[in-house]
Amino acid sequence: MKLHVAGFSERGAALALKIADAFGGSAWAPEKYAGGGVLPLGASLAEWAGKRFADSQAVVFISSCGIAVRAIAPHIGGKERDPAVIAADELGKNVISLLSGHIGGANELALRIAALTGGRAVITTATDVNGITPPDSWAVKNNCAIENLSAAKRVAAELLSGVEVGVAVTDELVPAPYPVTLWLRPKDLTVGVGCKRGIKPELLRRCFSDFMEDSGYSSLSVTAFASVDRKKEETAIIKLAEFYKVPFETFSAEELMALPGVFSPSPAAAAAVGTDNVCERAALAASRGGYMVRLKTKYAGITFALARKRSR
């Protein structure tokens, strides 16, 4: 976990280090309390918090809630992208989930830290205190992307009222089955990409969007783009993966050719990169034992194929 913990006293720094060591993060404190594995905060606390919001999954303050709130206030962007934020006293008696309790995982992290310190987790989200599993927490735990966050809020409110709700968990683009449907997209699709050298990133992205729409699958379910290793420096594919915030994986021609199955042969690809098919084989390789859901689709100088990971 990309976790950063800041303490502001001798005891606070010691607890910050204990938490960081337990969860594989980094501990920070003012210069006078740094050392022995604790990094100096250096810049102002607000600047430190801004950097941590950009590079962290979780930020923990061993401080009062007031210090934590003032530090993070300028950097709060939205529950779909803010890291988990926790505030705990320097004895670890109270571990408070402050921000991103569900999607960011702050509620669960507060429980884990409290178990470590022997304290109590303070959680105030309505669904949790009423013993109801919130849909956004369920989505995170089950590796699903939330397509329409506004519906998640409405569904949570209806759950609290005892009303039946509509949730659709699918990677397919299908008509909404309920008057208000919360769409959860499983992260289970891998996309194989082949393209000519120097293809324009904008063209590749437009073609990919058309490919997914025509295939009938949600791009939010894509968990990786893949190609042959000769394409590992291809700017357009790199930027496509960055846009969708998923990895770009490459495989050697030998790895791709070793995959069992029947693939659409391309003598030109075999001559150029050493494998008779790039997109289908790469999609299947990235699925780690999955299966094809759409074979090679051609655009001008571009090919895509789609595979799905098997459910565990």
| pLDDT for res 312 | 61
Per-residue tokens: 298: 């051609």
Indicate the average pLDDT of the chain: 93
What are the strands, taking DSSP E only, across the chain?
3-7, 26-29, 38-40, 58-62, 84-88, 94-99, 120-122, 144-146, 166-169, 181-186, 189-195, 222-228, 248-251, 291-299, 302-308
The CA-to-CA distance between both ends of the chain, in Å, stands at: 23
What pTM does this model have? Answer: 0.74
Per-residue pLDDT of the chain (312 residues; tens, 9 = 90+): 799 999 999 999 999 999 999 999 999 999 999 999 999 998 789 899 999 998 899 999 999 999 999 999 999 988 778 999 999 999 999 999 999 988 889 999 999 999 999 999 999 987 777 777 788 888 988 999 999 988 887 887 887 777 777 889 999 999 999 888 899 999 999 999 999 999 999 999 999 999 999 999 999 999 999 999 999 999 999 999 999 999 999 999 999 999 999 999 989 889 889 999 999 999 999 999 999 999 999 999 999 999 999 976
